[in-house]
Chains A and B, each alone.
Chain A
Amino acid sequence: MSYGLSTSLPASSVAPEAIPLRALLPWAVFGLVLAVVLLYFVGAEQGATSLVSGHAVHEFVHDGRHLLGFPCH
Chain B
Amino acid sequence: MAGRLLARGMIAGVFAACLAFLFARVFGEPQVDLSIAFESARDAAAGMATEPEIVSRTVQASFGLLTAAVMYGAAYGGIFAIVFALAYGRVGRISPRALALLLAGAGFLTFVLIPDLKYPPNPPAVGQAGTIGLRTATYFEMIVLSLCVMALSLLVGRRLTQHFGLWNGALCGVGLFVALTALVQSGLPDINEVPADFPAVVLWRFREAAIGMQVVLWGALGLIFGPLATTALARGTTGRRQVG
Question: Which residues of chain A have a CB within 8 Å of any CB of chain B?
Answer: 1, 9-19, 21, 23-24, 26-28, 30-32, 34-36, 38-39, 41-44, 47-49, 54-56, 59-73
Known: A16-B93, A67-B213. 7 other contacts (CB 8 A): A12-B96, A18-B90, A48-B132, A48-B135, A56-B54, A67-B206, A69-B115
Range of interface residues on chain B?
Answer: 35 or more
B220 close to A (CB within 8 Å): no
B209 proximity list for chain A (CB < 8 A) = 67
Can you list 14 contacts pairing A with B, beta carbon distance less than 8 Å? Answer: A10-B244, A12-B95, A16-B89, A19-B5, A38-B74, A39-B75, A44-B140, A49-B136, A54-B54, A63-B32, A63-B61, A67-B65, A68-B72, A71-B132
B163 CB within 8 Å of chain A: no
Chain B binding surface SS class: helix
Which of A19, A21, A65 has the most chain B CB atoms closer than 10 A to its own CB?
Answer: A19
- B residues near A43, Cβ cutoff 8 Å: 72, 136
* Cα distance, A28 to B71, chains bound together (Å): 18
Of the candidates A16, A31, A66, which one forms a contact with B123 in the assembled complex, judged by CB atoms under 8 Å apart? A66
Closest A residue, CB atoms, query B129: A73
Query: Is B48 among interface residues, defined by CB-CB distance under 8 A?
Result: no
* CB of B209 to closest CB in A, whole Å: 7
B60–A42 touching, CB < 8 Å: no
Interfacial residues, chain B to chain A (CB-CB below 8 A): 1-3, 5-6, 9-10, 24, 28-29, 32, 54-55, 59-61, 63-69, 71-72, 74-76, 78-79, 81-82, 85-86, 88-90, 93-98, 112, 115-116, 119-124, 127-129, 132-133, 135-137, 139-140, 206, 209-210, 213-214, 233, 237, 240-244
Q: Is the CB of B55 within 8 A of A67?
A: no
Q: How far is the CA of A39 from the CA of B29 in the complex (A)?
A: 21
